[in-house]
Amino acid sequence: MTTNNTPLWQRDDAPYNQKSFFRACLDCWRDAIAKDNFKVVVILTYAIFALTLWKYIPAAPKFADPQTGVNLLAQNFGSGATVVVPMDGSLVHSVSVVDFLWNARKIWAAFLIMGVIPALIVKFVFHEKLSDYGVTFGVKSYTIRSFVTFAPVLLVVTILGSGDRGYYNVYPYNPMAPISHGFMIAHSLMYLLLYYTAWEFMFRGFIQLGLADRLGAVPALLVQVVASTMLHYGHPAGETFGCIAGGVLWGFLVFRTRSLVSGIGQHALMGIVLDWALTIQAL
Return all residues near 166 (Cβ < 8 A) that are at least 6 apart: 66, 235, 236
Q: What are phi and psi of 234, to 5 degrees?
A: 100, -15
CA-to-CA dists, residue 131 to 109, 115, 119, 194, 210, angstroms: 23, 14, 11, 18, 12
What is the value of pTM for the model shown?
0.91
Closest CA to 273 of 132, 151, 176: 151
**pLDDT reported for residue 21:** 66
pLDDT value at residue 144: 96
Which residues are CB-neighbours of 236 under 8 A, at least 6 positions away? 164, 166, 167, 169, 170
Query: Which backbone phi and psi does 59 adopt, to 5 degrees?
Result: -80, 160
Cα angle for residues 273, 151, 55 (degrees, 5° grid): 55
pLDDT at 58: 94
Quick one: pLDDT at residue 52?
97
Res 71: pLDDT: 94
The per-residue pLDDT for 94 is 83
- Mean pLDDT per segment of 10 residues, for the chain of length 283 residues? 61 61 63 78 97 96 94 88 88 89 97 98 97 96 96 97 96 95 96 98 98 96 98 95 97 97 98 97 89
Which of 263, 10, 17 has the alpha carbon at shortest distance from 133? Answer: 263
Measured in whole angstroms, how far is the alpha carbon of residue 57 from the centre of its chain? 14
Are 283 and 69 spatial neighbours (Cβ–Cβ below 8 Å)?
Answer: yes
Residue 4: the pLDDT is 62
Comparing C-alpha atoms, which of 257, 222, 268 is closest to residue 110?
268
pLDDT recorded at residue 90: 87
Phi and psi for 64 in degrees, rounded to 5? -145, 160
- H or E segment at 22? helix 21-33
**Cα gap 126→121, rounded to integer Å:** 6
Neighbouring residues of 92: CB distance < 8 A, sequence distance ≥ 6: 179, 180, 182, 183
